[in-house]
Chains A and B, each alone.
Chain A
């Protein structure tokens, strides 16, 4: 059991080191975030709360697809064979899930700051929104990480990740929009706790599915 955790930690460390040294991916996604939000600001100005919320989550969706796609596509098949020989499938996918979740949370917080800076600040409960953003970023990244693992086997097409991902991400997006709406006004949203639990439950479901199914993808 401890050796499993050591493997995961080692793989995580490898990913983080790669990010720090080969700064292309991290800064690439950061620039993508900044450019997209900037273009959006020029197009939309300072929208009202509901539109702000909707635009925010749509941007998160596209950022997630790009961020996660990059993290899987940069491994070529020779390196994958090396990982296969030194670590188990479960450890590999857990390390990828954790890494992408952390990456997505960083990107989400960055885009939240940029949104508040450029597109106005309609938030009445900023901390609540921040928590929702972290939960939402994690949820999105979990689904897309697994789909990127699938697409990595299928000629590594980034568009394929989006095609497979968008229908599956719909319940999470709907839940996130409803939950985050409470941060904008003092609306008595019934079932707020229930929806957050539902989101967390969906995350657990995705993680367990990924853990069960990834070993089948792994062998080649």
Chain B
């Protein structure tokens, strides 16, 4: 087992145990649910990382049309979507208890759903073409286009609309992570959690990648 896989398991075990055992500040009506921070927010970081990696491989494909890059871009996008769904559902469960209802029209929820729609459209686009090279090239173009519109969008959206998330409207700085929210004890578990969940996402993707690359090799060997 590679070192980073062992690190991933260790970090996640640490998150699961320390996450429930450490003393957390009692803010507003959050009480103990603030522990969700170790599970919900890392999903978001993980999704962003995986989608960014997918983007990088799309760009690499356009520079040098190697099918490998296309497979990488596709698989990272898929895992990114899974993380997005998980983030949205953990957020909805959390919102149900703290904000009153699972769906609150909050800009971050909207941003996450938009990402979902964009990448589902990416998969639909891929499926509409059968020619492998065309599929790879067109979906790479869409991936890049959508990413560069999406990332400014999620930075702009929370500042435009009033937000129930911490650090919403009227607050300078990044609405995603308000510094006051993370007291030092939580920070000790939070950042390892982010790292651990992201590594897990990468691990899942590499497993799928190995599968896809083997299938690709098998099918292309028939042709050649």
Known contacts A163-B121, A164-B121, A170-B114; A206/B137 CB under 8 A: no
Report B140-171 CB contacts with A as 1/0, cut-off 8 Å: 11101110111011001100110000000000
Residue A213, interface by CB 8 Å: yes
Shortest distance from the beta carbon of B139 to any chain A beta carbon, whole Å: 9
Residue A78, interface by CB 8 Å: no
A157: chain B residues at CB < 8 Å are 128
**In the complex the two chains form, what is the Cα distance from A206 to B144 in whole Å?**
11
Minimum CB distance partner of A213 in chain B: B141
**In the complex the two chains form, what is the Cα distance from A131 to B150 in whole Å?**
26
Q: Is A150 a contact partner of B142 (Cβ separation < 8 A)?
A: yes
Give the residue of A150, A195, A216 whose beta carbon is less than 8 angstroms from that of B62. Answer: A216
Report A148-160 CB contacts with B as 1/0, cut-off 8 Å: 0010011101001
Q: Is A168 a contact partner of B146 (Cβ separation < 8 A)?
A: yes
Q: Is A163 a contact partner of B124 (Cβ separation < 8 A)?
A: yes
Residue A75, interface by CB 8 Å: no
Size bracket, chain A contacts:
20 to 34
Minimum CB distance partner of A217 in chain B: B141
Report A137-167 CB contacts with B as 1/0, cut-off 8 Å: 0000001001100100111010010011011
Q: How many residue pairs bridge A and B at CB < 8 Å?
A: 79
**In the complex the two chains form, what is the Cα distance from A109 to B37 in whole Å?**
49
Q: Is A209 a contact partner of B148 (Cβ separation < 8 A)?
A: yes
B153: chain A residues at CB < 8 Å are 170-171
B150: chain A residues at CB < 8 Å are 167-168
Give the residue of A146, A155, A198, A209 whose beta carbon is less than 8 angstroms from that of B128. Answer: A155
Minimum CB distance partner of A210 in chain B: B145
Minimum CB distance partner of B116 in chain A: A167
**In the complex the two chains form, what is the Cα distance from A213 to B110 in whole Å?**
27
Contacting residues of chain B (107-121) with chain A, CB-CB under 8 angstroms: 110, 114, 117-118, 121
Q: Is B160 a contact partner of A174 (Cβ separation < 8 A)?
A: yes
Main secondary structure of the interface of A (DSSP, over half): helix
Known contacts A170-B114, A174-B157, A216-B137; A164/B148 CB under 8 A: no
Residue A178, interface by CB 8 Å: yes
Q: Is A166 a contact partner of B117 (Cβ separation < 8 A)?
A: yes
Shortest distance from the beta carbon of B108 to any chain A beta carbon, whole Å: 14
Shortest distance from the beta carbon of A212 to any chain B beta carbon, whole Å: 8
**In the complex the two chains form, what is the Cα distance from A150 to B149 in whole Å?**
15
Q: Is A155 a contact partner of B161 (Cβ separation < 8 A)?
A: no
B137: chain A residues at CB < 8 Å are 216-217
Minimum CB distance partner of B144 in chain A: A213
Q: Is B141 a contact partner of A160 (Cβ separation < 8 A)?
A: no
Minimum CB distance partner of A195 in chain B: B160
A contacts, CB < 8 Å to B: 143, 146-147, 150, 153-155, 157, 160, 163-164, 166-168, 170-171, 174-175, 178, 195, 198, 202, 205-206, 209-210, 213, 216-217, 220
B contacts, CB < 8 Å to A: 62, 110, 114, 117-118, 121, 124-125, 128-129, 134, 137-138, 140-142, 144-146, 148-150, 152-153, 156-157, 160-161
Q: What are the 8 tightest A-B residue pairs by CB atom distance, in nearest-first order?
A: A167-B117, A171-B153, A167-B118, A164-B121, A163-B121, A167-B114, A154-B128, A153-B138
Given contact pairs A157-B128, A166-B117, enumerate 8 new A-B contacts (beta carbons under 8 Å). A153-B129, A160-B121, A168-B118, A168-B145, A170-B110, A171-B157, A206-B149, A213-B144
